Amino acid sequence: MAANLAPISSLVGEAADLPGMRECLQWFTREKQWINDIHLQLCRVPAPTFLEQQRAEWIVAQFRNLGWDAQTDRAGNVVATPDAHAEGPYVALTAHLDTVLAPRVKEDIGVEPDGRFRGPGISDNGAGLAALLAIARALKVCPPVEGWHADLLLVANVGEEGEGNLSGMRHLCKQSPLGKKIAAFLVLDGASTDHITNRALGSRRFEVTFTGPGGHSWSDYGVGNPVHALSRAISQFADVRLTSPPKSSFNVGFIEGGASVNAIAPLARAKVDIRSESNEKMDELVDSLTSAIERALEIENQRATGGKVAVKIREIGSRPAAILAEHSPILAYLRAVDSHLGIRSHLDCASTDANIPMSLGIPAISIGAGGHGGGAHTTQEWFRPEGRDLGLKRILLTLCLLLRDPQLTAASQ
């Protein structure tokens, strides 16, 4: 790779001194107000998971107004290239469109007297999407950057949150004709510049449903009770101890069933989340969950003197665990950029869109887009734009190093 030909620090300095890059880096600081305004506008367009179309159409219009060739793919992702003639190979800069909560009215997104932005999705992932648009505009209004061996692909993808199950990124990597042409992914998720996600936290999610005949709590007492069976299954699974590496977790985050205190429920349902840094450990925990469910079913039906209960287990989400190769160019370049900009960052493990390409052996990393945020997935989510320009400079310098590396991009041709 190019990093073997010269110290990476000198490559960063060289990239930063390119005439087009100098203009772009200055533009991020000069046009702070435009970036803040577009950030607030996009967050006022609701995009809950599975219902991202309105925001996708808005993003397409913004890209086209900025001179990019943009459209939505079959999954609903927005994909944009500098012009219609771009054929790859590509380096992809991505940010997810969807939010856990959505604004009910535009006034739910606003600015506090102290300058802090507030509202659902304002940081996760308003910050990432605003960065995509800022990069898109800077590269069009500033002189062209020379020496790139690949095309930049901008992607605003669907289905990152919750039961979206990374559907947009799965489509892009596995089904889209663009997938085989992408040499590397730089994923923008949330704010901050203090972390580099180089390890993909895996997860598997299940819906467990017990069913039975139901009935009156007195006259039908003795028939199999789905609520009792589900409660027993949860209790047995919760007794599993996680005391040794790899780091793992599990959670029963949703339970429903029954209609009245004096009625035996005909159905009881729960949703279970299992996470680990190891795919093998997740498989072990899935086996433990299955055993607890089967044992609970057996006990409830042994106790029943009437109708029996049945159970169905449905997997509703699966995100692979993975790790970026230690000597990957994208990690080396990003750390060199951090050193150049004076950013102190640490490596971490998280569940992001980068899980999919990383698990397929495609270089991928996830970072924040700059600024500061908090309260994710709540109505009190917030974002402070101070320092956002530093995050944008970090993103563009890293992209430039990747796009100038002929060996990295040649691997995808």
Please name the fold of domain 202-319: Alpha-Beta Plaits (3.30.70)
CA–CA dist 100, 22 (Å, integer): 37
Q: Where are the domains of the chain?
A: 2-200+321-410, 202-319
Walking along the chain (413 residues) 10 residues at a time, the average pLDDT comes out as 61 93 96 98 98 98 98 98 93 98 95 96 98 98 91 97 95 96 97 96 98 97 98 98 94 96 98 97 98 98 96 97 93 96 96 97 97 95 97 98 86 63
Q: What b/e sequence results for 92-130 when a residue is b if at least 16 CB atoms lie within 10 Å of its CB, and e otherwise?
A: bbbbbbbbbbbbeeeebbeeeeeebbbbbbbbbbbbbbb
Domain spanning 2-200+321-410: which CATH class is it, in words?
Answer: alpha beta
CA–CA dist 156, 72 (Å, integer): 9
Termini Cα distance of the chain? 15
- Beta pairing class for 346-350 and 195-200: parallel
- Beta pairing class for 372-374 and 382-384: antiparallel
Q: Please state whether the predicted TM-score (pTM) of the whole model is above 0.85.
A: yes
Paired with 80 in beta bridges are 70, 154
CA–CA dist 144, 138 (Å, integer): 10
Q: What is the DSSP letter of 105?
A: S
CA–CA dist 111, 248 (Å, integer): 38
Tokens of 197: 């996600």
Q: How many CB atoms lie under 10 A from the CB of residue 84?
A: 8
Tokens 């390119």 identify what position? 18
CA–CA dist 27, 141 (Å, integer): 9
